[in-house]
Structure 1
Amino acid sequence: MYKLGIDVGGTNTDAVLIDEGLNVVAAVKRPTSGDIYEGIMGAVDAVLEESGVDRALIGQAMLGTTQCTNAIVERNGLAPIAVLRIGAPASVGIPPMVDWDADIAAVCVDSAIIEGGFEYDGKRLAEFDEAACRAFFEGVRGKVDAVAISCVFSTVRDDDELRAAEIAREVLGGGVHVSISSEIGSMGLVERENATILNAALHGVARRFTEGFAKGLADKGVENAEVYLSQNDGTLMTMEHARRYPVLTIACGPTNSIRGASYLSRIDDAVVIDVGGTTTDLGVLSHGFPRESGVAVTIGGVRTSFRMPDVVSVGLGGGSIVRVADDGSVSVGPDSVGYEIAKRALVFGGDTLTATDVAVRLGMAEVGDASLVAGVDEELARKALAAMRELVEDAVDAMKVTSDPVDAVLVGGGCIILPTDLAGTSQVEKPAHSGCANAIGSAISKVSGAYEALVDYDVTPRDEALAAARAAAVEAAVAAGAVRETVEVVDAEDVPLQYYPGRTNRVKVKAAGDLSS
């Protein structure tokens, strides 16, 4: 059986085919077209042709895509939704989407705040106003495709959210998409609510690209493959799961690269430097998985609180444009020729000096026609390289938690533009197939499950609470499709919450295992 891995980036779409021993059989890189679907299918065609394998033997296909991110940033294809918050009278001072830009807030047809919700300890804040809930959904019937429901401290008790979801389906019909915040976000009502609203608005986008990908594979003769989507924690989810939680695909590209870097380098703890055509993304490998961000993350101008990788992006890539100022100083990026690099870069006969041209001029890479950059001044090229080096070295320092040198892994199609002797690192690995690390990360990803809860250690002893959390995370991974015997806990933490009574801690555990074949 073979695995097909695909990752869509802003500049290139990569595809790899991997055999049962997790060996790379074929790997291709194709420019991402204006029509993302067309670019995906083009990469699939190319990798199948290069490998020559029987398409009937491809048992699994994994896709990492930027379509949900693009939909939010471009305000395109988002579904009309209704937003219900359960938390009056305590939360009426800050209405839903209070700080959203008007162009994206327009996805909301109507919103309301009704009575209900809980205190931090699970006690009732107010009785759930079922009549007001029903009346609100009656008012938006026929006007919305999806509903976002949030509740004060629903991460402690989700009773009211679940009841509101039942009422939404009763009134609006079983076909309506319902997103509830306790399944998506973490602590912090507004940020958790924002993530839930985005999840609901992405419903139509997710349905279209999952159905399109499955149909496209079948049209190419890949008819026996189970299809999975990449999540932003470096693991996989089924198409059904992706349709329920499309927001979890956001930022899956960097996490795929991080997972692929770990597999290719056989390093489990390092800073991963993923150089694309337009940007360089830096993330941290911790026990073989991406380190999760501990702060709220802004997506398309919307501040959210849900699981996201800890990634720093800088405007440097293979297509970054090199400029010389009047004073002789040289700058690189942040603007880029992007997927037009094969037309506009000097080494391909274009008229724009790019970071790739600098790498070829200095003998760091063999791309295009080196004779076309022979006339580029060597001093200019070295100044450009110094500027690129400084950008990345500063970003590496931003990702470190100590001043000690760290291992680093250099991947991505644009990694040819960087040297391997970066300050702040103990060693920099540039493994084979590094240009397609993102697609490889998609293909070899595992399935995960997570558990998070607030626990008072005065009520439940710490050892007992952690053991229960580990067991729950393992069961969640198995339910998601992991082989039980391969599941192991990959991350566990308990953080004291000083503003809670007693010895309340936030307990969070993640487990991951191999995908069942």
Structure 2
Amino acid sequence: MRYKLGIDVGGTNTDGVILDSDMNVLTAFKHPTTDDIETGIAGAVEALLKKSGLDKSLIDHGMLGTTQCTNAIVTRKSLNDVGVIRIGAPAGTAIEPIYSMPDDLKAIIGQHIYQVRGGHEFNGELIAELDEAHLEDIARELKGKVNSIAISSIFSPVNKAHETRAKEIIEAVVGEDVAFSLSSEIGSISLLERENATVLNAAIIDVAKRTTEGFEKALKQHGVDCEVYFCQNDGTLMSKEYTLKYPILTVACGPTNSLRGASFLSSHDNAIIADIGGTTTDIGVLNNGFPRESSLSVELGGVQTNFRMPDIYSLALGGGTIITLEGENFKIGPDSVGYRLPEKAKVFGGDTLTVTDIAVAKGVLSLGDAEKVNDLDTELVDRIYDEIINMIEVAIERMKTSDKEVPVVLVGGGSTLIEGDIEGASEVINPENSGVANAIGSAISDISGEVEKIYNIDPARRSEILDEIKQFAIDEAVNAGADKDRTEIISFEDIPLAYLPGNATRIKVKAAGPLKED
């Protein structure tokens, strides 16, 4: 029997789980999250190994889901010095690169911005010849001043030749130690949002490097020698090499892991998932076992981007949410005691009334000392608890696309706060091990690859061209670590673009497969 170890680093807890080769949960554990990722992970790994008594040499794979890259963008800390290059003059100079970024972020990563002649039309035809001499001048200016470079070109997802050539020219001057991010490999068609996503990706390269190294060190510290993979925001995994190249794809992997873990634990591939934590409740939708993707451009740290992200609605409601009493009235949140729940909640001897206290007073939850909330008025407790349920019901309705009832799966450390029926739910499921659904989601994930481009498709060769595109997606997954023989297409979109000349068609295809075994 061989094993997988899954870790998910959250704002309050670092959750860990070990699964056997039949996907049975051998053991699970929660450890407080630490400022340095390595210590928290090491503590979780140590506890898992001690609790399971497992021979550590039988662990083949380690998976990590983390918010480190997200936090770096939001807090504006530990970001790379980035050179920003847009290829698109003279056609694409009306709006400056990263013009829509918040000023505080621009002040950090917007000091070296250039626009270069070149770029392509939607069908891949040339707008202007690439100005290679200008690129050589830029490379000499950037040498020694930046450690990461973001290159974006007009319609590069259709024709990436100018981005590729620009990288060759600049790398020859600045050296291979400088990281490169090409927009054709990160975002979809829209230039401005794709450019933003590419710049953010370039800005978190070093954060990703520290995170991956920290995970590996934490494992090796406890004698675990295994292949490591990292979770991305579409519910699948990336190899270490892929993660270091595209760290932006790890953003929002926490809620995604919870959705994937909820699907596994509940045996439901199509359901609404409510992940209830200490501070927030994240509501998402499962479609065929994977998170529904957002159809809107995604804002990250105040920046509009267009890379793939799960459709998640976050509600300021969790186990640590503070209840404020105002005479006969009350207010739920949005503030939370967060990781200080064990010291601040009334049932633990604290002085702050929280959602956890209400659940204990209601008799839904057996935790701490129930006598410490006996002084709460029963009618008031009922009204507060009813409003908590109502808040979740309203959030669930926001995520539904019809008035039909659907299964609702509750996961997360706060899932035990909810008892009884939920309006709009055909059934309410709180599966075993729901508190570590996020770590389970990281451990069970497949490897994926995706292609999204506009093609001019010759009707006579349509079938042949679509097969080639699907193979590109499969190759992407295999390059990221998937088993070539078990990788298959899991989603396919084929949308004719009537407003463009010719046979322009937007193709979006995703392939996924299980981890390649040694």
- Structure 1 length-normalised TM: 0.97
Cα distance in 1, alignment partners of residues 32 and 368 from structure 2:
15
Residue pairs, 1:11-30, within 5 angstroms: 11-30=12-31
CA deviation after TM superposition for structure 1 residue 120, in Å: 1.1
CA deviation after TM superposition for structure 1 residue 218, in Å: 0.4
Q: Does 1:453 align with 2:453?
A: yes
| Paired position in structure 2 for 1:209 | 211
Greater alpha carbon shift after TM alignment, 192-201 vs 369-378: 369-378
CA deviation after TM superposition for structure 1 residue 95, in Å: 0.6
Q: Does 1:87 align with 2:88?
A: yes
Cα distance in 2, alignment partners of residues 136 and 381 from structure 1:
65
| Paired position in structure 2 for 1:297 | 298
Aligned length: 515
Cα distance in 2, alignment partners of residues 394 and 269 from structure 1:
19
Greater alpha carbon shift after TM alignment, 212-221 vs 173-182: 212-221
Q: Does 1:127 align with 2:133?
A: no
Tell me the alpha carbon deviations over residues 435-461 of structure 1, each in whole angstroms, 9 at most, x when there is no partner: 000000001111111122213345465
Cα distance in 2, alignment partners of residues 285 and 11 from structure 1:
25
| Paired position in structure 1 for 2:275 | 274
Cα distance in 2, alignment partners of residues 420 and 461 from structure 1:
56
Question: Tell me, which stretches of 5 or more residues in structure 1 are unaligned?
Answer: none
* 1:206–1:243 CA contact under 8 A, matched in 2: yes
Give the % identical residues: 50
Tell me the alpha carbon deviations over residues 453-489 of structure 1, each in whole angstroms, 9 at most, x when there is no partner: 2133454655444333322222222222222332222
CA deviation after TM superposition for structure 1 residue 385, in Å: 1.6
CA deviation after TM superposition for structure 1 residue 351, in Å: 1.1
Cα distance in 2, alignment partners of residues 87 and 459 from structure 1:
31
Match of 1:166 among 165, 168, 185: 168
Shift of the 244–27 alpha-carbon distance from structure 1 to 2, 3 Å rule, reads: same
- Structure 2 length-normalised TM: 0.96
Residue pairs, 1:86-235, within 5 angstroms: 86-105=87-106, 106-222=108-224, 224-235=225-236
| Paired position in structure 2 for 1:64 | 65
Tell me the alpha carbon deviations over residues 61-101 of structure 1, each in whole angstroms, 9 at most, x when there is no partner: 11100000000000000011100000011111111121212
Q: Does 1:346 align with 2:339?
A: no
Cα distance in 1, alignment partners of residues 237 and 460 from structure 2:
33
SS at match of 1:16: strand
Cα distance in 2, alignment partners of residues 225 and 262 from structure 1:
26
* 1:10–1:278 CA contact under 8 A, matched in 2: no
Tell me the alpha carbon deviations over residues 491-513 of structure 1, each in whole angstroms, 9 at most, x when there is no partner: 11122324322342211111111
Cα distance in 1, alignment partners of residues 378 and 498 from structure 2:
58
Greater alpha carbon shift after TM alignment, 178-187 vs 396-405: 396-405
Q: Does 1:307 align with 2:308?
A: yes
* 1:447–1:512 CA contact under 8 A, matched in 2: yes
* 1:16–1:47 CA contact under 8 A, matched in 2: yes
SS at match of 2:494: strand
Greater alpha carbon shift after TM alignment, 366-375 vs 282-291: 366-375
Cα distance in 2, alignment partners of residues 98 and 513 from structure 1:
39
Greater alpha carbon shift after TM alignment, 247-256 vs 89-98: 89-98
Tell me the alpha carbon deviations over residues 323-350 of structure 1, each in whole angstroms, 9 at most, x when there is no partner: 1234x33222111111111111112221
* 1:206–1:246 CA contact under 8 A, matched in 2: yes
Tell me the alpha carbon deviations over residues 267-298 of structure 1, each in whole angstroms, 9 at most, x when there is no partner: 11111111111111111111111111121100
Cα distance in 1, alignment partners of residues 274 and 197 from structure 2:
27
SS at match of 1:112: strand
Tell me the alpha carbon deviations over residues 226-284 of structure 1, each in whole angstroms, 9 at most, x when there is no partner: 11111111111111111111111000001100110110011111111111111111111
Residue pairs, 1:476-495, within 5 angstroms: 476-495=476-495
Cα distance in 2, alignment partners of residues 248 and 420 from structure 1:
37
Structure 1 vs Structure 2 CA RMSD: 1.5
Cα distance in 2, alignment partners of residues 182 and 269 from structure 1:
32
SS at match of 1:502: coil
Cα distance in 1, alignment partners of residues 316 and 113 from structure 2:
38
SS at match of 1:442: helix
Letter in 2 for 1:401: T
Letter in 2 for 1:295: L
Tell me the alpha carbon deviations over residues 210-234 of structure 1, each in whole angstroms, 9 at most, x when there is no partner: 1111012101111x21111111111
Shift of the 331–86 alpha-carbon distance from structure 1 to 2, 3 Å rule, reads: same
Letter in 2 for 1:139: E
